[in-house]
Structures are given as C-alpha cells and as structure tokens.
C-alpha cells in the first residue's frame, strides 16, 4: 500500500520552508499519525533535523535535557528542525522553551516543532508562556474519507473500526483490532495520560463516565443525570471536571446549546459525542451496530466528529420537542445541520429554528451526501443550506 499522507503534512512542510517560522505546535490524539507525518516532512524536505521524545523521559533535570538537545540542534547549523515529541510530559516545558527561544539570536534558532497529545497541558503552556511565538496545527482522528483512501475501508467498516489507522488496518482480524484499541490506546490514555494531567481522585468514576458517553452517543444529558447513572458517588463539579479531562485527551467533545444568550449556553446540559466511532464496538461489541437505532446515532456522531474537526464552535439546539442536531457559524451565517440517519424522528425543528434565529439556514446531511459533504464541509454547507 502506498504511503497515505494526511492533510496537515503539507501545511507543516510549507511553514518549515519559511526563513524564520514560528514554533509549530502539532496537537492531536494518540496514535493518529502526528509523529509519522512530521517524520515524513523531514524525510521529504531538505531539512537537517534532530528528533527527541519525552514519552518515556525520567531525567532528574528536564530543563537541562531540553538545553542539551537545543544546543545539539543549533550545532547542526542554521535551519535545523528540532522536533520535541510528547512535550507536555516535561515539567515546566513552556518556560524552558520560552527562555531558549528568546535568548537565542533569530539567525541561530532551530526551527522548532513540538508535538503533544494533551490539549489541556499544551494549550496552557502555549497561552501562558509562548503567546505570539507559535502556530497551532490540529490533527484530528481519521475520518471516513481518509479510511477509504488509505485502507479501502467501507463506511460500514468505518462505523466499527474508524478513528485510528492501526485499528482500521487490523479490521480483517476483529479480535486483534479491539485488543489493540483497548491495550494501546484506551488503557494508556485513561490509565496513564489523564492521571498525569491532573489529580484524579476517582479513576473508576472517570472510566465509568467515558464508557457511559460511548454507549449513549450524541445524547444530551445533565451532569446530575449523568451522575445518577454511574455506579459511584460524586458531585456535578466532579462530573464536569472529568468531562473536561476526557475532552483534553481528545476522546470526546461536549457541545453547548446554541443561544444568543451566553448564560444559556454555559448553563445548558451538554450534548456529548465521542471522537472515534471504534470505541462503541469496543464496549458494546460490533454486532450491536446492526441495531438501526444504534447505527443512526453513530452516523450522527460521525457528522459531529467531522464538524468539530473543521469548525471551532459547534453547538446543538433544542426547545421543547423541536431540535436541530448541530449548529455552526460559517462566514457569519448561522447554519443548523439536520442529520438524516435513518432512525425515526421528527424534523419539525427546521422552521422553529429559522424563526428563532433570523437569517439562519439549515442543511441536511444524509447517507446519500455525507461523503460529498466531508470533502469540503464548509463549502458544502454554504452551498446547500437553505
């Protein structure tokens, strides 16, 4: 199979060819090809490079470790690309990078690429210490188009194995694929990465919460109801905090209700979506996806996954029994997205949504047009929404 190159690769390559690029922060989940893509850039370009990873770093002085490798990259000559993988695992990494960046003459600086799989720690470090010095490159889970292009996977196969390239690659060996998903992705993220982010007093509650989100895809649920379904005690702030941690690890997204009133948005019950469909098969078994209701919800979830990877602000809308599955702002146009997934439901929210928000438009995403929509989500919405 020919090497499949994800879209972020060309963007990174173009930026590194600039004379004095900003720090390039490549941010995304584990095991979706961030490191592979960066290494591909280095091998395809005329770059001198120095690659290091903090994934298993246990030095007594991380600051000294960073300084040592910064110096090695400098000695390789001007324009050398220094890549630091899993940088969020280095204590106070952003302060050290800021000092090295600011005290090195611009013509002597390495071209710096940092990679991370924790949005919480990486974003905090970038905002607090490196403001004005970096550009973000976001790398999302693999979508159905990429699965088809790289692995010739059908949409049906994507429902079961979608999100991670290695899981898709193993789809002809279902048990092996699910074991890999559990042992190499789920367990390290839930059992290791998240525990390093913040103090987690109830790891079992965190696991239960994630499983509950997975088994109830794209459902709107209050934090109090969420706690009521868990086999553990806690409070709403704990549930809210753990949802934020799962978002920081790129496992789920929590969507607010769309409203012109910011207080209504912030106080609304969240609509929770998983960012990789394969987790449903891991917890419920692949045969459960034969259920039309389950299939419909997973289809809607995939639409939500694509929206969150292309738009910074994604919402849902509901009033009484009137609803719109997703809402995005697209070139200052409010667009509601109705997902025609095959499950029985009412589409009476369309007129109510337009009436509620003047000049709002609505677009329908169905099994017939989803692949076309995924090729250019923004352009498709602007063209098709009425």
Q: Calculate mean pLDDT across residues 265-271.
A: 82
1 assigned to some structural domain: no
pLDDT in tens, 21-40: 999 999 999 899 999 999 99
In this structure, are 110 and 157 located in the same domain? Answer: no
% pLDDT > 70, the chain? 91
- Domain extent at residue 297: 144-384
2 assigned to some structural domain: no
What pairing do the DSSP bridges indicate for beta strands 322-330 and 314-319?
A: antiparallel
In this structure, are 126 and 182 located in the same domain? Answer: no
Position with higher pLDDT, 129 vs 270: 270
Position with higher pLDDT, 229 vs 330: 330
In this structure, are 106 and 13 located in the same domain? Answer: yes
Closest residue by Cα to residue 311 from 258, 371, 220, 377: 377
Q: Calculate mean pLDDT across residues 202-209.
A: 84
In this structure, are 229 and 177 located in the same domain? Answer: yes
Which tokens hold the place of 264? 């209504």
In this structure, are 188 and 307 located in the same domain? Answer: yes
200 assigned to some structural domain: yes
Give me the count of residues in the chain: 386
Q: Of 106, 138, 170, at which residue does a domain stop?
A: 138
Tell me if 222 sits within 8 A of 240, measured CB to CB: no
CA distance 359 to 333: 8
Tell me if 280 sits within 8 A of 215, measured CB to CB: yes
| pLDDT at residue 1 in the model | 47
104 assigned to some structural domain: yes
Q: What residues pair up with 101 in beta bridges, in sequence order?
A: none
Answer whether residue 79 shows pLDDT above 70. yes
In this structure, are 76 and 173 located in the same domain? Answer: no
Helix (H, G, I), strand (E, B) or coil at 378: helix
Position with higher pLDDT, 237 vs 23: 23
In this structure, are 131 and 148 located in the same domain? Answer: no
pLDDT in tens, 162-191: 999 999 999 999 999 999 999 999 998 888
| pLDDT at residue 116 in the model | 86
Helix (H, G, I), strand (E, B) or coil at 311: coil
In this structure, are 47 and 72 located in the same domain? Answer: yes
Average pLDDT of the chain is 88
In this structure, are 131 and 179 located in the same domain? Answer: no
Answer whether residue 59 shows pLDDT above 60. no
Q: Calculate mean pLDDT across residues 341-352.
A: 71
301 assigned to some structural domain: yes
Q: Of 92, 110, 138, at which residue does a domain stop?
A: 138
> Which single residue is written with the structure tokens 């173009």?
14
In this structure, are 189 and 294 located in the same domain? Answer: yes
| CATH value at residue 125 | 3.40.50.300
86 assigned to some structural domain: yes
344 assigned to some structural domain: yes
Number of domain units in the chain = 2
pLDDT in tens, 292-320: 999 999 999 999 999 999 998 899 999 88
227 assigned to some structural domain: yes
In this structure, are 309 and 202 located in the same domain? Answer: yes
Q: Of 138, 156, 190, at which residue does a domain stop?
A: 138
Answer whether residue 272 shows pLDDT above 50. yes
In this structure, are 66 and 167 located in the same domain? Answer: no
């Amino acid at each position: 199979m020919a090497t499949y190159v994800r879209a972020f690769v060309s963007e990174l390559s173009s930026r590194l060819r600039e004379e004095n690029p900003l720090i390039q922060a490549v941010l995304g989940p584990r095991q979706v090809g961030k490191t592979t893509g960066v290494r591909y850039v280095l091998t395809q370009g005329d770059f001198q490079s120095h690659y290091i990873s903090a994934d298993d770093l246990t030095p007594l002085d991380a600051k000294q470790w960073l300084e040592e490798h910064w110096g090695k990259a400098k000695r390789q000559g001007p324009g050398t690309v220094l890549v630091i993988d899993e940088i969020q695992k280095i204590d106070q990494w952003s302060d050290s990078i800021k000092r090295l960046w600011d005290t090195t003459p611009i013509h002597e600086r390495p071209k710096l690429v940092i990679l991370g799989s924790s949005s919480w720690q990486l974003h905090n470090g970038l905002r607090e210490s490196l403001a004005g010095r970096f550009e973000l490159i976001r790398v999302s889970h693999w979508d159905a188009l990429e699965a088809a292009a790289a692995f010739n996977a059908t949409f049906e196969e994507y429902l079961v194995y979608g999100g991670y390239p290695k899981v898709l690659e193993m789809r002809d060996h279902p048990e092996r694929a699910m074991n890999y998903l559990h042992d190499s992705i789920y367990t390290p993220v839930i059992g290791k990465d998240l525990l390093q982010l913040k103090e987690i007093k109830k790891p079992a509650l965190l696991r239960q919460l994630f499983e509950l989100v997975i088994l109830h895809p794209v459902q709107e649920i209050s934090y109090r109801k969420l706690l009521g379904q868990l086999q553990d005690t806690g409070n709403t702030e704990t549930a809210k905090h753990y949802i934020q941690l799962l978002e920081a690890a790129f496992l789920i997204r929590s969507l607010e209700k769309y409203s012109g009133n910011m207080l209504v948005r912030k106080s609304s019950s969240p609509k929770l979506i998983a960012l990789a469909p394969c987790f449903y098969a891991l917890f419920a078994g692949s045969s459960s996806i034969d259920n039309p209701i389950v299939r419909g919800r997973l289809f809607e979830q995939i639409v939500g996954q694509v929206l969150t990877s292309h738009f910074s602000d994604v919402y849902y809308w509901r009033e009484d029994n009137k609803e719109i599955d997703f809402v995005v702002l697209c070139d200052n146009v409010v667009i509601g997205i109705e997902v025609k997934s095959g499950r029985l439901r009412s589409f009476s929210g369309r007129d109510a949504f337009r009436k509620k928000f003047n000049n709002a438009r609505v677009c329908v995403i169905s099994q017939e047009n989803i692949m076309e929509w995924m090729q250019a989500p923004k352009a498709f919405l602007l063209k098709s929404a009425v």
